Amino acid sequence: MPPVFGVLFDGLAYGMLLFLLSVGLSVTLGMMNFVNLAHCSFAMLGGYVTVTLMNGYGWPFFATLPAAFIAAALASVVLERVFFRRFYNAGDLDQCLLTIGIVFISIASAAYIYGTIQQPVQLPSYLRGSIAFMGLNLGVYRMFLIGTALLITIVLVVALETTRFGAQVRAAVNNQRMARGLGIDVDRLFAVTFALGSGLAGLGGALAIEIVGLDPSFALTYLIYVLIVVSVGGLGSIAGSFAAAMVLGVSDVAGKYYVPALGAFLIYLVMIVLLMWRPTGLFGRR
């Protein structure tokens, strides 16, 4: 098979990663209109938790994944209580500045504790290497990544569409004031969603180490990708985030493979064109 399928495969795996990193932000932004630029700091926290537990305490890789999820979720709950809660009614700019301040602090703290070098992880042997499939070399880890992300997506969609909690979330995203009027405790709902979304980001950060590496600049580098996914996909839309993450992942990998001279130029251009075409995102309504 031609290399285009290999590029497509890598792009999809990368897109899945971006989806995991950004879906939480998309939902919380859609619900509270809170611009949380610190979202990728939670992802970075998840990554460092995995690294520490594996290299420092000898935990197996799979056992560290839930730990990454829980650590990021807990950290987000604390920050939400202490800082974010006061800024729900503030302007975009104040929210941006508060959260970018948290990003700066997280980057400096990570650099202080772990240094600025890339963190190594040793994957279990059954996740390494690749499988030859119809003339293609498919990385086992990437397949694992796609499988995990698909599983999480299905769980998310089913939970949102069929459970009572999911219905409340959809109502709050659709019209926050109306949802309040109907007696839904939007603040509590938001806190839970926020924790879940940050937890997913933490999981994404842990899974991302093998693909993109982990160093303190992660919180800022991937913030830009995540924001692109969220704004292109449309706020509060899981399907939109998924589609945008796939488009972005494939075009980024394809761009780097076919026209390496352009670098990241292509995805920024894709974002600007998509936003000019649809300012509220692919699946956005507002």
Contacting residues toward other proteins, per CB under 8 A: 29, 35, 83, 86-87, 92-94, 96-98, 100-109, 111-112, 116, 220, 224, 227-228, 230-231, 235, 261-265, 268-269, 271-272, 275-276, 279-280
CB 285 within 8 A of CB 243: no
Q: How far is the CB of 172 from other proteins (least distance, A)?
A: 18
Q: How far is the CB of 175 from other proteins (least distance, A)?
A: 18
In the bound state with other proteins, the residue whose beta carbon lies nearer, of 97 and 143, is: 97
In the bound state with other proteins, the residue whose beta carbon lies nearer, of 34 and 61, is: 34
In the bound state with other proteins, the residue whose beta carbon lies nearer, of 210 and 252, is: 252
In the bound state with other proteins, the residue whose beta carbon lies nearer, of 128 and 286, is: 286
Q: How far is the CB of 201 from other proteins (least distance, A)?
A: 18
CA distance 273 to 173: 26
Q: What DSSP character marks residue 260?
A: G
Contacts of 228 (CB under 8 A, 6+ apart): 244, 248, 267, 268, 271
CB 165 within 8 A of CB 43: no
Q: Which helix (H) or strand (E) holds 130?
A: strand 130-133
Q: How far is the CB of 227 from other proteins (least distance, A)?
A: 6
Contacts of 281 (CB under 8 A, 6+ apart): 230, 231, 232, 233, 234, 235, 237, 240, 244, 275
In the bound state with other proteins, the residue whose beta carbon lies nearer, of 5 and 114, is: 114
**Among residues 104, 65, 29, which one has the least CA distance to residue 200?**
65
Please, what's the largest Cα pairwise distance for the chain?
59
In the bound state with other proteins, the residue whose beta carbon lies nearer, of 142 and 256, is: 256
**Among residues 238, 266, 255, which one has the least CA distance to residue 19?**
238
CB 104 within 8 A of CB 122: no
Token output for 66: 């839930």
In the bound state with other proteins, the residue whose beta carbon lies nearer, of 147 and 279, is: 279
Q: How far is the CB of 166 from other proteins (least distance, A)?
A: 24
Q: How far is the CB of 42 from other proteins (least distance, A)?
A: 15
Q: Which helix (H) or strand (E) holds 206?
A: helix 186-212
Q: How far is the CB of 209 from other proteins (least distance, A)?
A: 22
